[in-house]
Amino acid sequence: MIHSFLETLVPVESDDDDDDSPDVEFAFSIKASAPAGAGTAVTPEQCVALVVCGPGAAAAYASCALPLAPMPWALEVVKETLVRTFPPPPKSPRFFVGRGSGEAGEGPVVVAVLDAAVPGDMAAAWAEALLSAFPAATEVAMLDRIFRAGWRTSCGQERPQEPHLCGLWTAAYGASGPLDRADALALLPAPNAVEGLAPAPLSRCGGSRRRGVGGLGLQGGGP
């Protein structure tokens, strides 16, 4: 890879090192009442791939363009660990499996769709609970956005034009990346960095030798 994977992940740092409040924890559960059209034959332990769609364009694309079956699963904060905080913890993502996945001997693919951002100081705990819920998912994809206004360029470079997809991937994919076509996913160039939720699951994938990829779509405007 052109530059260090870890250098492009922005860690979340606490503003108060002396904070004695308990760490927030998240727990995965199966709902007692399933949504309409929910699948029940698939269990979390069977899923071989996990796709996380961040709020905004990625969530809209997954909800409208992908053939998905809703699942009665939830990832929510453990109330006993919750202290008064702002921003508040996120609601559970909506979980789906790809219709037809799991057939013909292939393992099912789970898609988690976020309707709101996960606060930075909760991202590590959220990612740990999510990945632990799908132990057989050897491939993890995080789909999110990078704002054009925040795109940083080196001397003499120009900002790319939409539509533009770039990202990072863990070493388990090798130098060629996760896609068959080398030009299908451009490497996120320095000095840009992956921010928000994505660094947490990608760092854990790298540490556990899972295949992890963060795909960022260039979006006009700013946060």
Of 104, 89, 93, 31, nearest to 68 (Cα)? Answer: 93
Measured torsion, CA atoms of residues 99, 53, 167, 145, in degrees rounded to the nearest 10: 140
Give the whole-angstrom CA distance, residue 177 versus residue 39.
Answer: 32
- State yes or no: pLDDT of 5 exceeds 60: no
Q: Tell me, what DSSP letter sits at residue 107?
A: P
Say whether pLDDT at 13 is over 70.
no
pLDDT of 149 reads 85
Residues in the chain: 223
Q: Is the pLDDT of residue 11 over 80?
A: no
User: Phi, psi (5° rounding) for residue 149?
Assistant: -65, -25
**Would the pLDDT of 119 be above 50?**
yes
Mean pLDDT of 216-221: 84
Higher per-residue confidence, 75 vs 196: 75
Which range, 1-5, 12-16, 131-135, 145-149, is most confident?
A: 131-135
Average predicted confidence (pLDDT) for the chain: 82
What pLDDT does residue 39 have? 56
In this model, does residue 163 exceed pLDDT 60? yes
- Position 222 confidence tier, pLDDT thresholds 50, 70, 90: low
The pLDDT of residue 223: 62
Average pLDDT over residues 40-69: 90
Given a cut of 50, is residue 15 above it in pLDDT? no
Kind plus residue range of the DSSP H or E element containing 60 = helix 57-65
- Sign of the alpha-carbon torsion through 60, 220, 176, 135: negative
Q: Which of 52-56, 66-70, 118-122, 152-156 has the lowest mean pLDDT?
A: 152-156
CA distances from 195 to 63, 117, 222 (A): 23, 12, 13
pLDDT, position 174: 82
Check residues 61 and 84 and name the one with the higher pLDDT: 61
Q: For residue 79, is pLDDT > 90?
A: no
pLDDT given at position 26: 95
